Structure 1
Amino acid sequence: MDESESQPRVLATDKALELIREIQKDHPDILFHQSGGCCDGSSPMCYPANEFMIGDNDVKLGEIGGVPVYISGGQFEAWKHTQLIIDVVPGRGGMFSLDNGREKRFLTRSRLFGGGEACAIPAIRRPSM
């Protein structure tokens, strides 16, 4: 299987893409960072791109709706055989996440890559500054 046939590491549901477009009306340039589980559980956090510093150990998983999605290097090691699916459910978003106050929030669902699928996933490169 070549790289063009490989499965993406991160996907978004239609509801998530709709909420992204809603947020972009107020904040055109945003990014996601998969939370490590401290204050906001394991929520995907949505931030203005110019207000969040990507760390040296953060890994870019891909993009959803043209928006980059990052995860910490340590968490990536734990989830490297997993595809993340960003979805939306009713509720309050993370305290500092741009979905907060909209009565709906982003939620990460996941599935394990199966068979040879994980082997076909291209190597992840850390972001260059």
Structure 2
Amino acid sequence: MSDEPMVSSTVLERVAFTDAASDMVRQLAQRHGPVMFHQSGGCCDGSAPMCYPDGDFIIGDVDVLLQEVDIEGVEQAVPFYMSESQYEYWKHTHLTVDIVPGRGSGFSLEAPEGVRFLIRSRMFSQEEMEQLKLL
């Protein structure tokens, strides 16, 4: 037995997708190829998560990659970005991408389907913030 401390292999997720949102991502990826998300910071549709064909939205130096999310049935992990300034406000928050009926006013891929992605959020627990080194 080793005297070295155990290191947890569990990686804390910053972003998750509901089953309904995952279903829509699968459909969009089948139609458009790999997709990515950028959390809008007030342009177009308020602060909605926007889905684009991967590479169609130019990521800048001020964008933060929160996570690459593995969605069952989607060939490539789905990157999720937001601007650095918005991240400063949301870094203590776990984001869950959901989908609801209704059309957003942006250019997100799901708009023609009569649905829109939205964010449900919760604050990270004290333990999660320590794991993420946010304290």
TM-score normalised by structure 2 residue count = 0.83
TM-score, with structure 1 as normaliser:
0.87
Q: Give the 3-state SS of the residue equivalent to 1:51 in structure 2.
A: coil
Moved more, 14-23 or 93-102: 93-102
Q: Bigger shift: 3-12 or 78-87?
A: 3-12
RMSD of aligned alpha carbons: 1.8
Q: After superposition, what is the alpha-carbon deviation per residue over 1:86-117, rounded to whole angstroms, capped at 9, x for unaligned?
A: 00111113421101110111111100001221
User: Which aligned runs of 4 or more in structure 1 are off by greater than 3 angstroms?
Assistant: none
Indicate whether 1:83 and 2:88 are aligned: no
Aligned length: 123
Unaligned runs of 5+ in 2: 1-5, 72-76
Residue identity over aligned pairs, in percent, reads 50
- SS of the residue corresponding to residue 126 of structure 2 reads coil
The 1:102/1:3 distance shift into structure 2, 3 A limit, reads farther
Q: Which has the larger radius of gyration?
A: 2
Give the corresponding residue for 1:48. Answer: 53
Unmatched 5+ stretches in structure 1? 124-129
**Given the superposition, is the C-alpha separation of residues 41 and 94 from structure 1 closer, same or farther in structure 2, using an over 3 Å criterion?**
same
User: Aligned pair in 2 of structure 1 residues 74, 27: CA closer, same or farther (>3 Å)?
Assistant: same
Shift of 1:122: 6.3
Correspondence for 2:109: 98
Displacement of 1:4? 2.8
Cα 1:105–1:3 shift into 2, 3 Å: farther
